[in-house]
Amino acid sequence: MNPLLIILLAPVAAVIGMLLTPGRNVKAVRFVAWCGTAVALGAAIFAFVTFGDAPVDQSAGDHHYKFVLEQGWVEGLGLSFKLGADGMGLTLALLTALVAFTGVMVSFSIQKRVKEYYVSLLALVTGVFGVFLSLDMFFYYFFYELAVIPMFLLIGIWGSTTATVDRNYATMKLVLQLSAGAILALIGLIVVYIEGGTFDMVALERHSFDTSLQMVWFPVIFLGFATLVPMWPLHSWSPAGHAAAPAAVSMLHAGVLMKLGAFSIIRFCFAFFPEATSVYMPYVGILCCMNIIYGGLVAVHQKDLKLMIGYSSSSHMGYVLLGMASLTLVGLEGAVFLMFAHGLMTALLFSLVGFFYDQTHTRMSNELGGMMRVMPFIGTCFVFGAMASVGLPGFANFTSEMMTIFGAWESGMWLLIPAILSVWGLVITGVYMLRAVKNIWYGDMPDRWANLQDAKTHVQKAPYLVLIGVLLFFGFYPQPMIDVIHQGAEPVFERVKAAGDAEQAAVPVPAEPAGPTKAARPAKPDEGEER
Q: Is the pTM of this model over 0.85?
A: yes
pLDDT at position 508: 54
Rounded to an integer, the average pLDDT of 173-180 is: 83
pLDDT at position 421: 77
Residue 230: asked if its preceding bond is cis (omega within 30°), the reply is yes
C-alpha separations of 368 from 197, 362, 364, 371, 448 in Å: 59, 8, 7, 7, 10
With the CA atoms of 270, 265, 299 and 442 taken in that order, what torsion angle do they form, in degrees rounded to the nearest 10? -90
> How far apart, in whole angstroms, are the C-alpha atoms of residue 484 and residue 369?
43
Give φ, ψ of 81 to 5 degrees: -85, 105
Amino acid 280 reads Y
For strands 66-74 and 79-85, give the pairing.
antiparallel
200: β partners: 136
Rounded to an integer, the average pLDDT of 179-204 is: 89
pLDDT band of 531, cuts 50, 70, 90: very low
Q: Answer with the residue of higher pLDDT: 263 or 501.
A: 263
> How far apart, in whole angstroms, are the C-alpha atoms of residue 343 and residue 93?
11
Question: What percent of the chain has a predicted confidence (pLDDT) above 70?
Answer: 91
Strand, helix or coil for residue 105:
helix
pLDDT at position 503: 64
Question: Tens of pLDDT along 133-148?
Answer: 999 999 999 999 888 8
pLDDT at position 154: 86
pLDDT at position 522: 44
Residue closest to 360 by CA, chosen among 311, 312, 305 = 305
Q: Answer with the residue of higher pLDDT: 162 or 152.
A: 152
pLDDT at position 479: 93
Residue 525 has pLDDT above 50, yes or no: no
Question: Tens of pLDDT along 346-372?
Answer: 999 999 998 888 888 888 888 888 889
pLDDT at position 382: 93
66: β partners: 56, 85
Question: Tens of pLDDT along 485-518?
Answer: 999 888 888 888 877 666 666 655 454 555 444 4
Rounded to an integer, the average pLDDT of 239-262 is: 84
Residue 521 has pLDDT above 70, yes or no: no
Question: Tens of pLDDT along 428-477?
Answer: 888 989 999 998 988 888 888 888 888 888 888 999 999 999 999 999 99
Question: What percent of the chain has a predicted confidence (pLDDT) above 90?
Answer: 35
pLDDT at position 57: 62
Rounded to an integer, the average pLDDT of 231-240 is: 76
Residue 55 has pLDDT above 80, yes or no: no
Residue closest to 26 by CA, chosen among 150, 117, 98, 97 = 117
Choose the weakest-confidence range: 52-61, 87-96, 99-108, 328-337. Answer: 52-61
Residue 55: asked if its preceding bond is cis (omega within 30°), the reply is no
Residue closest to 350 by CA, chosen among 177, 122, 160 = 160
Residue closest to 62 by CA, chosen among 530, 494, 524, 510 = 494
Q: Are 319 and 425 in contact (CB under 8 A)?
A: yes
pLDDT band of 527, cuts 50, 70, 90: very low
Count of beta carbons in the 10 Å neighbourhood of residue 137: 24
Please give the mean pLDDT across all residues of the chain.
Answer: 85
